[in-house]
Amino acid sequence: MSEPKQPLLEVNGLKKYFPIKSGLFGRTTGNVKAVDDISFTIRQGETFGLVGESGSGKSTVGRTILRLTDKTDGKVKFKGVDLYDLPPQELRRLRPKMQLIFQDPYSSLNPRVRIGDAIGEALLDHGLAPREEIRDRVMEVLNACGLSSYHIDRFPHEFSGGQRQRVGIARALVLNPDLIIADEPVSALDVSIQAQIINLFRKMQDTQGLTYLFISHDLSVVEHLCSHIGVMYLGSMMETASRDELFRNPLHPYTRALLSAVPIPIPKLKRERIVLSGELPNPADPPSGCKFHTRCPFAVARCREEVPLFRNVGNDHSVACHLV
Amino acid sequence: MDTVLDIEHLSTHFNTEEGVVRAVDDVSLRVRQGEIVCIVGESGSGKSITAMSVMGLVEAPAGQVVGGSIAFRGEDLLKLGRNELRTVRGNEIAMIFQEPMTSLNPVLRIGEQLMEPLMEHRKMSKKAARKRAIELIGEVGISRAEQIADSYPHELSGGMLQRIMIAIAISCDPKLLIADEPTTALDVTIQAQILDMLRRFKEESGMSILLITHDLGVVAEMADYVVVMYAGKVVEEGEVVALFENPQHPYTQGLLKSKPIINQRQDELYSIPGQVPNPLELVPSCYFHDRCAHCMDICRTTEPALKETANRQKVACWLYEEANPHV
């Protein structure tokens, strides 16, 4: 192993609450704690997979890191600088270094703008390349993403789902970023196309030394792509560890249930499945103590009363559970 | 085992401004009693339109069943009149969809929507139907059944709504349940609950299930028999274990290899190059030929027929054709 790499992104105690307003005067009557005291670090060149079910707050983490929505509390450091301390102009200067890729690139592309212009636009806006070089740069990145030069003058509707995701990736990569936050980038794609895009993500990391925050609900994709994994439930981090450690030795009952629920394409495979009872609780009114206790098959009295501490149990493996 | 559903040479076409789309193109498949048959395929493969054709949900003039037969317990559904079809649909054949929210009426209480088929098909009184509706809500694993019966769809989560859809579907003891991507919109932990439940109902009532999905994991877990579709055609079919252990069509092989599997990590995933062909530009050929690593001259010009191979599997591929001079 080489010496430990520098942290690129450090998230510390991040909170994002959405107020619930009601009544005639819109008084705040409570909060949805979408992100509730989350901490993790991503080192240079790593891929951190953030896993959780709908309503776990994983997408809000991504958006809050990029200051697309304001935080409630906590720190987000990018290369040692707290993004929330930066004045608007300086933040804008840093923006090309942190790019976001969405699940549905179609809704983030203007249907009347040619693909080449959509990709080149950011280069021009940020003054990263002179106008006459832009077409070449776009061509280069399109080719790297597995698209052809003739795609450059096409419109978004002429592309298939997989190709649009390639465009989304190209648009992020053309700015030569350090960090890419990808929010469910392969979830809308068919299996055969999904594999192509996953391989593209890997290739880009190898050739450009990218760091990824990969947000997904699909554990098999996350295992494939990520070096470190965090598991979220109702706004809280339940467990973080390196991929190998997490898959070999999942400690939190929620992680174990999640792993055992993923259908595996091997018929007749006998597996012990932890079937969770019940539904995801209302995030506006989360359970007391450990948020998972209402569905946890191992819950004891203490879990209902006391919030478990998120603590390191060795091997860089952290977990929030009383029973571990 | 008795055959419940026997689809023979079904073709369903759609007329679009640019031309005719052959969404389902000469598809035959059979569902036997108590069996779960999975149709697996990617978007545009025609798997959902096959199911919609069975239910008579393809609306003219846009789309039309142009050929073939759909026999349900010996009776051709395509020959039934509107009213006769109504007595079968929702009664002997039930269907659940991917988005439960869009299949429920937003302004009717859950209980009323459950009572409707009971009163329509089972001729129950309002009182008896309500009693049965509340029992059904309990049977799909929802507590506080009375309270849920009086709520509206928007008050329930996606997983709960899908349970309600299943309750409606099984309310008249159907012989066949058609489930089109029933768990695709749900989280994995909820998906596991719903799949377990479907399997349990099948065991208890002996109904058959035609399950449509794109998820090979779900197929492996649920299916007895698998039908693989590509661009409107059946390219391979067989019993689940044989098909997963020994896939024969290059498309099936590629599909199985490109799915990442937990605890079986590879450095690079296999991926099928290219993409699904444009349905308007199909000419007689194997529709997979331009993505296939084994493509031969004949694949570009002549369509392969679906033929049985040694191990009770059927495959439509020139590689397995004895008459093929290239083999």
| CATH (domain of B81) | 3.40.50.300
Q: How confident is the model at residue A4 (pLDDT cuts 50, 70, 90)?
A: low
Cβ neighbours for B91, distance < 8 A, ≥ 6 positions apart:
B117, B121, B172, B174
| pLDDT exceeds cutoff 60 at A319 | yes
Which residues on chain B are in Cβ contact (under 8 Å) with A269?
A: 220
Q: Contact A286/A234 with Cβ under 8 angstroms?
A: yes
Of A201-205, A227-231, A258-262, A282-286, where does mean pLDDT reach its minimum?
A: A282-286
Give me Rg for the CA atoms of chain B.
Answer: 21
CA pair distance B227, B225, nearest whole angstrom: 7
CA pair distance B98, A319, nearest whole angstrom: 35
Option in B190, B196, B244 nearest A266 (CB): B244
Percentage above 70 pLDDT, chain B: 98
Q: In chain A, positions 179-218, which contact chain B (CB-CB < 8 Å)? A: 190-196, 198-199, 202, 217
Q: How confident is the model at residue B324 (pLDDT cuts 50, 70, 90)?
A: low
CA pair distance B143, A229, nearest whole angstrom: 35
Q: Is the minimum CB–CB distance between B215 and chain A shorter than 8 Å? A: yes
Overall residue count recorded for chain B in this entry:
327
Q: Is the minimum CB–CB distance between B80 and chain A shorter than 8 Å? A: no
Q: Is the minimum CB–CB distance between B190 and chain A shorter than 8 Å? A: yes
pLDDT score at B20: 92
Q: What is the pLDDT of residues B301-323, one digit of tens each?
A: 999 999 998 677 999 999 988 65
Q: Is the minimum CB–CB distance between A263 and chain B shorter than 8 Å? A: yes
Option in A198, A261, A267 nearest B188 (CB): A261
Alpha-carbon gap: A87 to the closest alpha carbon of chain B (Å): 39
CA pair distance A262, A251, nearest whole angstrom: 17
What residue in B sits closest to A191 (Cα-Cα)? B259
Q: What is the ipTM of this complex?
A: 0.84
The residue among A142, A88, A99 whose CA lies nearest residue A122 is: A99
H helix runs in B150-270, sequence order: 158-170, 188-205, 216-222, 240-245, 250-258
Q: Quick one: DSSP state of residue B55?
A: T
**Average pLDDT of the residues in A180-202:** 90
CA separation, residue B14 to residues B25, B53, B79 (Å): 11, 12, 20
Q: What is the pLDDT of residues B70-97, one digit of tens each?
A: 999 999 999 999 899 999 998 999 999 9
pLDDT score at A5: 81
Instruction: Return the structure tokens found at B144.
Output: 């506080």
CA separation, residue A161 to residues A168, B67, B271 (Å): 11, 31, 16
pLDDT score at B208: 97
Q: How confident is the model at residue B100 (pLDDT cuts 50, 70, 90)?
A: confident
CA pair distance B121, B106, nearest whole angstrom: 22
pLDDT score at B327: 45
Virtual torsion, Cα B176, B110, A280, B179, nearest 10 deg: 20
Q: What is the pLDDT of residues A259-288, one digit of tens each?
A: 999 999 998 877 778 888 877 888 888 999
pLDDT score at A277: 81
| pLDDT exceeds cutoff 70 at A1 | no
**Average pLDDT of the residues in A246-269:** 92
Overall residue count recorded for chain A in this entry:
324
Virtual torsion, Cα A79, A82, A84, A85, nearest 10 deg: -120
Q: Is the minimum CB–CB distance between B272 and chain A shorter than 8 Å? A: yes
Average pLDDT of the residues of chain A: 91
In a domain, B218, yes or no: yes
- Whether residues B220 and A193 touch (CB distance < 8 A) is answered with no
pLDDT score at A3: 57
The residue among A171, A69, A67, A63 whose CA lies nearest residue A110 is: A171
Average pLDDT of the residues of chain B: 92
The strand pair at B307-308 and B314-315 is best described as antiparallel
Cβ neighbours for A148, distance < 8 A, ≥ 6 positions apart:
A142
Q: What is the pLDDT of residues B181-237, one digit of tens each?
A: 999 888 898 899 999 999 999 999 999 999 999 999 999 999 999 999 999 999 999
Which residues on chain B are in Cβ contact (under 8 Å) with A255?
A: none
Q: Which domain holds residue B57?
A: 3-92+172-249
| pLDDT exceeds cutoff 70 at A135 | yes
Candidates B37, B258, B288: best to mutate against A (most CBs of A within 10 A) is B258
Alpha-carbon gap: B81 to the closest alpha carbon of chain A (Å): 38
In a domain, B66, yes or no: yes
Q: Is the minimum CB–CB distance between A149 and chain B shorter than 8 Å? A: no
How many independent structural domains does chain B possess? 1
**Average pLDDT of the residues in A78-106:** 92
pLDDT score at B153: 94
pTM of the model: 0.89
pLDDT score at B325: 52
